[in-house]
Structure 1
Amino acid sequence: MATAAATTAIALLTTAGALTAPAKATAATSAPAAACGEGSYQAEAVLNGNTWTARRGSTTVYTGTDLRSAVQAAVNSLTAGRTTKERVVVRGSGTMSAGSRISLPSYTTLDVCGTINVTGSGSGDQAPIYSRGTRDVEVQHLNVTGTPLYGVFMRNVQNVILGQIDMRLSRGLGIRIDNRGDTSQWTRNVRIDNVYVSGASSHAVETYGVDGITIGTVTARNVGESGLLLNQTINATVTKVDAENAGTGTGYAAFRMANRNGRVGSGYPTNIRVGEVIARGGGRGVFCVSESGGATIDRVTISNTGNNSVLIENCYNVNLAAQSGSVTGGGEIRLAARSEFPNNRDITIQNLTVTNSAIRESPCGENTSFPNNRLINSSQSIC
């Protein structure tokens, strides 16, 4: 991905007719990521007063008052049939309906320097940022408020990058990336750098049917369901999930794996790697269910969850707190099983300081272990 991104950046800088934003007076000696709107681009949508203008070079492709129409016109003005990314920069904030979408075709980079406020209601898979059956799509910056069905919706895609994403919502699901249009094909090669979601009525980030995803940080605040939910996803690396009040009053979790997540072929080699999960309040802290596994979570800090701090149910090859962790208050750490799936197998719960809680295994799993846990005012019932 890094090589592809670098190649794209070079291509953008050398593309004939590419536009360049004005340089700042003082350049930073080293910046981890470009500020929104900096660098070369092929088209832009700019708000001046109440009027949006979309341009490709010297050609104006839209003038009017509608954010969505302006951005879509700028996107549609990019080179037809292109095989390298071209970039659209949006400068300004505006409103669009929850029943509409900005659709990104293949080889498109979008940088939104402003806020998209979503109003009203809609149905289906509408989202301010939408892409389906595409490849090489990138969203560098995005701020969304309001009531979307989804903030970002991507289906059956390849080579996707989501950079700095901020969603302060009052409804909906933050980011959904899946393969549910054609489940015979995985969605592949996804990168999410940093996403903040508050107020969603569903999950902050959800995947289904993804092979190969790298996630930096997911920060979830007061979302109705999970902070990060991985369904039937393999080869995933996550640096951090930081959730506060995710799934309050529900069985959802700060970090949830479900629907054979981590299952490669018929086995569960370690392929889901999570650096850190932080869960404060909410429903559960970590939840693995429905024949998922192949997961190592290095560090956990879980406190005062309303439901189980940790629930491992019909999962295989899960290593919780491989490095360190703490569970304070809230519900117990529970290993459980439903009769319709094979029992837990190869589960390790270790290196935890458990305070005012409990560890309980029922029924007994196969090859479960609980080494190096320190219990403070907490009970343990294991096999």
Structure 2
Amino acid sequence: MSARLLLSLWLGMLGIPVFAQTQTQACQSLSSYKDVLRCSIQNHPSTQRSRLVLDQNQNLTGVAEQIPNPQISTQILSGKTNSDERVDYTQVNLAQPFELGGKRGSRIKKAKALVEVSEIDLQLTQEEIYLRTYLSMIRLRQISEEIEIYDDALSTFEKIQKQYRSRPRMTPEQRATYSVLDIAASDYRVRRQPLVREARVHERYLEIAVGRKLDVRRDFYPARRKDWPKISDGTEEANLKSAAIRKSQAEVAVALAELESAKSLAWPDLQIGPTFETQSQGSQRYQQLGVNISFAIPIFNLNGAGKSYANAGVSVAEATATATVREERNELNLNRQTYEEIVQLLKSTISASDLQRKHREVESSFANGIVPSSLIIEIHRQLADYTRSINEQETSAIEALAKIYSVQGRLLSEGL
């Protein structure tokens, strides 16, 4: 069974079906924003790098399981006695090293723990890419809305100025209004340009993530939420399933395996095997068969320094794991509070349809000569500022929700 298939099965058990798709399958058809999300977490260069590291580390277990090769040594001597008789001596030693003290077992444990760390690193990378891709698409929809507001304002200002220019003579008040509209239009053009550049940045990111150019309409991106999911109040251990926690626990396993390895190094390796010896002197020949045994004598050290270092590593890993659980619990509490406050705020705000209705009412009243032109400038300014503020709150709510889902271990399985 291949390493990639094993990884797919393991991730499937975690409830992450998107991982089961290959890069080609995930990017074949991009007909919705969900397709873009599935493709990006498979195709993004960061994912590919993490997957290559995992593929490399999948070989660690095989490396750790390897048994040392037998060793062969020989001695061949030839000479003459005082009576000029020829003497020949040959000795052949075959020895098999045996690793004592659990060296091989500790290597295997460490290798498996490192593979698990690599698997979790891959998930962390994909969570980061998922959120960034989702936020990029959300932001592109928001930018489109904000640019539309600026374009509508510029069009309205131009119509009013055109009406003033068509008159034979403008009153002082009309000239002042014309100048104010001119300044407001320049201000909106200045505000509009950074949005165009920001949109270009997000578009390039999506192209990198999916590996090709995306040419889509605004309604392709995630729509503005009307209903936000409810988040439970529980912060008990059962709800803390983040990849960061699992990685810290895997790093504890790595540190414990390193401690076992340090303890095992206090044991010498044993080499044992048969010895064959032949000796001839003149017409006489002797043959002998025996056993050779060799091992290091632990006189000068029992790897005490190595064990102390590994013990300290275990303490660091365990402290980090404990701190990570505490940090993730605090992160969950903080983001749940932030999320609930923003959602409550968004529910109490004016809807987009009501906002547009009020906008049309003011423009209609201006066209009928009921309200002054200053209100036209003010309604567009308020519309632009309000939309930008709502968009910022929407982004903050999505980020908080994503962090909550990440801590609970369900960001990739359930999605946003």
TM bracket (short chain): under 0.3
Which structure has the bigger radius of gyration? 2
How high is the TM-score relative to the length of structure 2? 0.16
Please state which structure has a larger fraction of its residues in strand: 1
Please state which structure has a larger fraction of its residues in helix: 2
